[in-house]
Chains A and B, each alone.
Chain A
Amino acid sequence: MIHHPEIRDRRGEAGGAIALAGAWDIRSLESRSRQLGGELARYAGAEAWDLSGVQRLDHIGALLIWRAWNRRKPAKLVAHPEHEALFADLAAIPQVAPERRRISLVEPVRSLGDGAAAIAGGFIDLVRLLGQVALDLVAFARAPARGPWREISATIYRAGVQALGITALVGFLIGVVLAYLSGEQLKAYGANVFVINIVGIGIVRELGPMLAAILVAGRSGSAMTAQFGVMRVTEEIDALAVMGIPVAMRLVLPKVIALAVAVPLLVLWTNFVALTGAMLSTKLQLGIGYRMFIDTLPHAVPIANYWLGLGKGAVFGVLIALVACYFGLRIEPNTESLGRGTTQSVVTAITVVIIVDAIFAVMFSHVGFASR
């Protein structure tokens, strides 16, 4: 029968000592450690201890007692030999305080310098990655037969074909909402038919490419970064390098090429579904027929807008792939870095897409509007 840990003061008796009894192991102590620690501390000065009644003792229990002894054996101690061995272990605990990172006055300056160096290092890495991709692209163009065709087609399937569903859903809803909201405003002016112009230009020129790019960044960009990260953790990237397989050529280039192909196609698809949504909405809300919508569309939205949208899609695809690979290759082999890298990758990719979209808007402000 195992008893609870107990402390009895028997100093009054002949050969008296502080007697401990019961089980002094973590399972019995868990809930009582503070209370027992306090009780033991009261007998800290006692010279004679009797541990012969202790049924079980482990390191945690021994440590509780050892601390009450001020880390040295009392003058008179009665204990089982195997329990004494535990105290011998405790006597060997290194008392040097484990080194904590010291905080000094130089620290802010150093962290500023470290930050600046990290940004500079990141920039150099980015340039190196871009250069490597450019070189690989040249090599690929010279010998297309040796190119990573399987990887390209696999990435197109994963990032493009498998994204058809989600882009369709989002595109359709945005088309419906956009047409409904602008229709509501135009009705007030009796300019119902201009809803086709607003929706057409808005979707083909802006929303289609943006929606596709943002969804791809969230879906595939994060997946690519995480893939690189895990490959890094499991040393797969090192294994490729050792086998003489160029990492950039096999892993980075196919992703860049595949997204440059897949995102414009997704843009086309998103445009189509979003315009369908808009068409349904205008029919229901404003009574503009499908025939009317389809006939007016080419007139309202000059073909240049399509090319602009597709071009933007290709550029966005390349940027998303580069950002994903850049952050993926910077992941250190630990879980925290993996999470941080993936987050950074998605946030950066979406930000870059929006910034570049704004640049496009300014650069092509004269292109693609119907002259009246």
Chain B
Amino acid sequence: MTAAIQVEKLWTQFGDAVVHRDLDLTIHAGEVVALVGGSGSGKSTLLREILGLQRPTRGRVKIFGHSLHDASEAEFHKLRKRMGVLFQGGALYSALSVYDNVALPLRELRCFDEDFIRDVVMLKLAMVDIQPAHAHKMPAELSGGMVKRVALGRALALDPELLFLDEPTAGLDPDRSESFVKLIEELRHELRLTVVMVTHDLDTIVSSADRVAVLADQQVVVIGPIEEVTRTRHPFIESYFLGDRGRRALAAFHQHPLPPALDDEEEEADEPG
């Protein structure tokens, strides 16, 4: 498996506060990785550094083998086009309609005619379950869930290989979160997407992530399948996954697809954390 993202020996420092200390993280192509951690653990900062929006104090970030920091302007631009980002609040351009928001990155390429762009936009909107009737609404007229879906549609407009989701299901009703999770599942099969998501939603993690990376103590304490993560002894993991909420989500997961390896793990999970 090739690595889509490699973070090597990353340090981030704001004044005296060290956010990341010698952090290493490798994400393979085609997998879905959930990034979890308490608030203030530097998840969003890490995401911004991977996206090249913020420069780490030390260390390097490689996307598809190209270092973000040594890349020329043109290379960097090319790399950026291979990534799609769903920002937490959607970040839709409030002056543009839903349609124009999704069309914007396509128009910016200047190599497709308007007719072609219309087909792509309508396809992406249909994929994220937005009715054509809503295409000419302004972002201010949309509900929170719709903003998220349109923003996902825009993130997918250029068929990215690497998709970043910042709190994708926050603010969605459970029904919608579920269809969101299904959508991501579908997309990664069809488009062979690599997905990195920052989320607090245990249901989403349990049902869609191949691996979970836990950010605590300024480092990635553990990265692996959920069973492996829950087996790790760490105060944050114990309170997060093995608290009441975590147990419920894990139990629901165990009832349906139950891989054999999980049986002994369940007993361990039942021990008081």
Contact = CB atoms under 8 A, between A and B. Distances in A.
B126 interface: yes
Q: Name the residue among A25, A60, A67, A92 with the largest chain B CB count within 10 angstroms.
A: A60
A26 interface: yes
Interface stretch (A2-10, A29-37, A217-225): A29-37
Given A30-B111, A86-B190, A93 B119 contact: yes
Nearest to B111: A33
Contact of A334 (B120, B139, B159): B139
Contacts of B120: 59-60, 63
A37 B113 CA distance: 11
Contacts of B1: none
A98 B122 contact: yes
Contacts of B127: 89
Nearest to B189: A82
Contacts of A86: 190
A218 B189 CA distance: 56
B135 interface: yes
A347 interface: no
A94 to B, nearest CB: 5
B140 A334 contact: yes
A98 B118 contact: yes
Contact of B126 (A58, A67, A94): A94
A81 to B, nearest CB: 10
Interface in B82-129: 82, 93-95, 99, 109, 111-112, 116, 118-120, 122-124, 126-127
B111 A31 contact: yes
A336 B95 contact: yes
Contact of B159 (A31, A60, A64, A93): A60
B132 interface: yes
B111 A334 contact: no
B122 A335 contact: no
Interface string B29-53: 0000000000000000000000000
Contacts of A89: 123, 126-127, 190
B138 interface: yes
B190 A334 contact: no
Contact of A27 (B82, B124, B191): B82
B136 interface: yes
B158 interface: yes
Interface of B: 78, 81-82, 93-95, 99, 109, 111-112, 116, 118-120, 122-124, 126-127, 132-133, 135-136, 138-140, 158-159, 189-191
List of 3 A-B pairs having minimum Cβ-Cβ separation, nearest first: A334-B94, A58-B159, A336-B95
